[in-house]
Amino acid sequence: MKDLFMLMPDFLRDPDGFFQGIREEKEVKDKAIKLALISVISLMTYGFTVGLAKSPLQALSSAVKLPILFLLTMTFCLPSLYFFSLTLLRTPLNMLQVQTVVLAGIAVTSFLLLGLAPISLFFVITSSNYPFFQLLAVCFVGLSALIGVYFLWRGMTLIELNSEETHSRLGQRILVLWFILYAFVGTQMTWRLSPFIGRPEDPFYLLKPSRDNFYVDVLKAAQAALNIEPTAISWLTPVLFGGLCLLSVGGMIFFSGLVFVGKSAKRQKENMPSAG
């Protein structure tokens, strides 16, 4: 248990050494289990704290749902990161190594939220302003998630990308696309598992009763706020999502083309007779 609580301080003091150990397959399974436990414990603590802003029942619900949110998002997005890296970059990493790097990013986010839990508890005790507390929670989670993504990026660029310049640039672009996908899935998962705080005047319910997704509801909210005709939203929604799909597919095709062009140029260069 002592090793469990010392893992994150040791990791934050020397993240490059930690990621190098993953690359060299040193106790990868043990690290993955510890990172997952740290994430669950920390997220449960923070979820319980923000849920207290409404009621003890909401606190218990949020304590369960917040770890599910992060771990389910990772579960859905991890195969895409691994398969794209394996197909386009011929990564030497196995699935467990990639999973451990992603868990490291989630653990950093969770660890920071654990540190922010006392501040959240202070405002739970001293304030009853729901919009303020909602904004505070969003800022805390957003800031912690950005720092966690930074460590995830640092780990993947350190242990996965090849030394070749072409592959390095391509790998960074693939990571950017994956982070966009990760954020896309994460926001939708947050919407389906909400509420995590809950309006004081609303009754308790486990999941938000909504048949739409996060982005459709955002468009509807914008429609109501700007007095846009419903017919405009009806054609804007498929155009928006169709454009996102085409952009993602086009980006992957473009980056795949870069790989093949780079490999062809390299083979031609190797096959050219030397001048001397």
Please, what's the largest Cα pairwise distance for the chain? 83
Contact between 76 and 84 under an 8 Å Cβ cutoff? The reply is: no
Element (H, E) at 216: helix 214-226
> Would you state the pLDDT for residue 220?
63
Residue 66 scores a pLDDT above 70: yes
Percent of the chain with pLDDT over 70: 68
Contact between 96 and 28 under an 8 Å Cβ cutoff? The reply is: yes
Residue 222 scores a pLDDT above 80: no
Q: Where residue 155 falls among pLDDT bands split at 50, 70, 90?
A: confident
Higher pLDDT, 177 or 45: 45
Residue 248 scores a pLDDT above 60: no
Q: What number is the average pLDDT over the span 3-19?
A: 86
- Taking the CB of residue 47, how many other CB atoms lie within 10 A of it? 26
Domains of the chain, residue spans? 2-210
Q: Is the omega angle on the peptide bond into residue 203 within 30 degrees of 0, that is, cis?
A: no
Q: Where residue 245 falls among pLDDT bands split at 50, 70, 90?
A: low
User: Among candidates 51, 49, 52, 21, which has minimal Cα distance to 35?
Assistant: 21
Q: Where residue 243 falls among pLDDT bands split at 50, 70, 90?
A: low
Reported as a single tens digit per residue, the pLDDT across 40-55 is 999 999 999 999 989 9
Residue 168 scores a pLDDT above 70: no
Return the sign of the alpha-carbon dihedral for residues 79, 75, 38, 96.
negative
Reported as a single tens digit per residue, the pLDDT across 124-146 is 898 888 888 888 888 899 899 99
For residue 198, give the DSSP letter: -
Q: What number is the average pLDDT over the span 242-261?
A: 53
- Which of 101-115, 154-168, 193-207, 245-259 is most confident? 101-115
> Would you state the pLDDT for residue 157?
79
Distance CA 97, CA 28 (A): 7
DSSP string of 117-157, one letter each residue: HHHHHHHHHH---HHHHHHHHHHHHHHHHHHHHHHHHHHHH
Percent of the chain with pLDDT over 90: 31
Distance CA 86, CA 99 (A): 14
Higher pLDDT, 104 or 7: 104
Higher pLDDT, 221 or 111: 111
> Would you state the pLDDT for residue 228?
61
Residue 162 scores a pLDDT above 80: no
Contact between 123 and 88 under an 8 Å Cβ cutoff? The reply is: no
> Would you state the pLDDT for residue 166?
46
Contact between 62 and 197 under an 8 Å Cβ cutoff? The reply is: yes
